[in-house]
Structure 1
Amino acid sequence: MSDETLISAPAGTGGHSALEAQRERAAQQLEIRLRYGDQVWELREVDHFAVFSRRSRARRAARTLVASGYEIAISRLRLRHVLVASHHAAVDQEATTAFLRQVVDAVEREGGRYDGWRAEIVPAH
């Protein structure tokens, strides 16, 4: 297995909000990370991905996230704008719940689609 794990948005949420769907996936991912010996309470870089139809909306979401301590990159991919928001965080249940709420809310408030997050696995020392 790679030392990074990507958690992406499910194709259909079956009536769930994007936040609920991401929290469910994060809970599944936590079990997998623990099986691989990930020290989930250790800080590591976490990258979040979101897609916007308009650059101005991506920039507004970016400003909100920068104010909360995230580093931001926005790039163009065909007709879409991809926002990558990075920060250092643990990936235990409490931390993922908090950062998912913060990032998904900022993205959805500006009409974007949250597309998941990734973080390295931190092995025991």
Structure 2
Amino acid sequence: MSEQAPVTTSVPTTTGTADPAARQRSVLDTQRERAAQQLEVRLRYGDQVWELREVDHFAVFSRRSRARRAGRALVASGFEIAISRLRLRLVLVASHHAAVDEEATTAFLRQVIEVVEREGGRYDGWRAEIVPAH
């Protein structure tokens, strides 16, 4: 039986700066810090972090057209996506198979956050199952 690792919590993308690149770096930095904390927990649980597993990313958009554009960009990069409505917002779930070691998480966070921010969305974290030793 596999366990779910804790989902990273929401990260507001407004940092008081008008520079979108600085805002994205801030979100990326915050998410990388949380991924490092999650990596420690995963290793304590015996997660084989270098093994591929399904990773789900969550993003929130105020407009369907923007969520769809972000979704198309992520599909072009090999992600599977689903968009659903939650109250007045649209939630994009982008899934792919990846390892969850430091190098892999940095790469996928950079890729997904860049697409989400470019389309005016708010990246809301990721989750993946723990892969135990065989």
Find the partner of 1:98 among 107, 129, 134. 107
Distance across 1 between alignment mates of 2:30 and 2:116:
15
> Is 1:24–2:33 an aligned residue pair?
yes
**TM-score, normalised via structure 2 length:** 0.87
Residue 98 to residue 48, structure 1, CA distance change in 2 (3 Å): same
- Counterpart-to-counterpart distance in 1, 2:12 and 2:133: 34
Whether 1:76 and 2:85 are equivalent positions in the alignment is: yes
CA positional deviation for 1:10: 4.0
Larger displacement relative to structure 2 (59-68 or 2-11): 2-11
Summarize the alignment of residues 110-121 of structure 1 with structure 2, pairs less than 5 Å apart.
Answer: 110-121=119-130
* Number of equivalent positions: 124
Aligned partner of 1:9 in structure 2 is 10
Deviation at 1:20, TM superposition (A): 0.7
Structure 1 residues 13, 4: closer, same or farther in 2, change over 3 A? farther
User: Could you list the runs of 5+ residues in structure 1 that have no partner in the other structure?
Assistant: none
Whether contact under 8 Å (1:70, 1:87) holds in the other structure is yes
In the alignment, is the contact (CA less than 8 A) between 1:49 and 1:114 conserved in 2? yes
Give the conservation status (yes or no) of the 8 Å contact 1:47–1:86.
Answer: yes
Return the alpha-carbon distance in structure 1 between the equivalents of residues 27 and 59 of structure 2: 12
Q: Distance in 2 between matches of 1:32 and 1:11?
A: 23
Q: Is the 8 A contact 2:12 2:122 kept in 1?
A: no
Q: Is the 8 A contact 1:13 1:21 kept in 2?
A: no
RMSD of aligned alpha carbons: 1.8
Deviations 1:59-110 (A, max 9, x none): 0000110000000000001110000000000000000000000000000000
Q: Percent identity?
A: 81
Q: Residues of 2 paired with 1:12 and 1:71: CA distance?
A: 24
Residue number in structure 2 paired with 1:40: 49
5+ residue gaps, structure 2, are 17-24
